[in-house]
Amino acid sequence: MPGWSCLVTGAGGFLGRRIIRMLGQEKELQELRVYIRTFKPILKEELSKLQTKTKVTVLQGDILDAQCLRRACQGISAVIHTAAVIDVSGVIPRQTIVDVNVKGTQLLLDACVEASVPVFVYSSSISVAGPNSYKEVIRNASEEEHLESTWPDPYSYSKKMAEKAVLAANGCTLKNGGTLHTCALRLPFIYGEECQSTSFAIKATLKNNGIHKKLATFSVVSPVYVDNAAWAHILAARGLQDPKKSPSIQGQFYYISDDTPHQSYDDFFCTLSKEWGIRLSTWSLPLPLLYWLAFLLEMVSFLLRPVYSYRPPFNRHLVTLLNSVFTFSYKKAQRDLGYEPRVSWEEAKQKTSEWIGTVVKQYKETLSSKTQ
């Protein structure tokens, strides 16, 4: 891949920033092109840390702006598409999620064809595979099992449709007569330093005197450390450009995980944060009762809709996501992409825990300044 160039969408996000960091270390990369909607300070800080001779270009634009996407793709060798709206709680309007995740992905694929970009790597999600019921047990599932989510919620639906569009585009003829090669990486919950959802959870727990409420204690999941998730994208982009590896990768999807121990979300959260005084609540509702309580809350929301907009604190889909046995094997990614986790569980745990310590410290300092 002498002198290749790469466009990263969603570059201001948690995963996108780590991908940029790793691409900055690619010796053969001539240009790193960053596509974002808003140039946030955290991305500016990330870019300032890059020690690379690679040309770095920042482009601001909407993922739904076809003309802007075509300009962004001009002269690019590979696209890594991470931009997406993530919402499993029903906060964001359905149409917004579907537009960004499905229409935005299709517009980017069209731009690649128009600009003759031969490689497209898509950040997908395990939510396209389920879980469909908390009663169903899925352990170390492989790609050959053809699991598919049946939930109508906008996030799972949109990621599933976008992934199908990406894989269907594999083999398309480019404007210059070349061929588009695509693949998708299905990612579980991604953790690590600067994870926004973890930061929110820590602050909510500290407000509750350091006691973490049990809402996901019945699950068994396989989270992935952010650096390992990012590394898989680099390998996929490399592999699709390698004449020897590319034929086995084209049009394929891969589950990406690492050696993080499989456990419940609640236990995982406390494993990372217990050093800072975080502890689990001693009680929780039985799972069937929690599920039907979610159903009742959804009914209340539905009945009130004509006169009042009520958003339940949780729904059946969220209860299912947080309380299912749902783990995956990364053997196919090992075989085809040469993927091996770059960061061990012990190192990932230490780095994440140290970062959580800074979140706790900042929260307490802010609270102290307000009370003075």
Sequence-distant (6+) residues with CB within 8 A of 277 are 210, 360
Quote the CA–CA distance of 112 and 174 in Å, as a whole number.
Answer: 8
CA distances from residue 70 to 97, 107, 167, 281 in whole angstroms, order as listed: 22, 9, 20, 51
Helices 196-207 & 345-371 angle (0-180, nearest 10): 50
Q: How many Cβ atoms from other residues are within 10 Å of residue 52's Cβ? A: 14
Q: Which tokens sit at 134?
A: 């908390």
Gyration radius of the chain's alpha carbons: 21
Q: With beta carbons less than 8 A apart as the criterion, state whether 103 and 64 touch.
A: yes
Q: What does the alpha-carbon distance between residue 321 and residue 318 come to, in Å, rounded to a whole number?
A: 5
| 159 is known as an active-site residue | yes
Catalytic pick from 159, 160, 214, 332?
159
Distance CA 87, CA 116 (A): 32
Q: Is the peptide bond before 131 cis (omega within 30 degrees of 0)?
A: yes
Residues with a catalytic annotation lie at 159
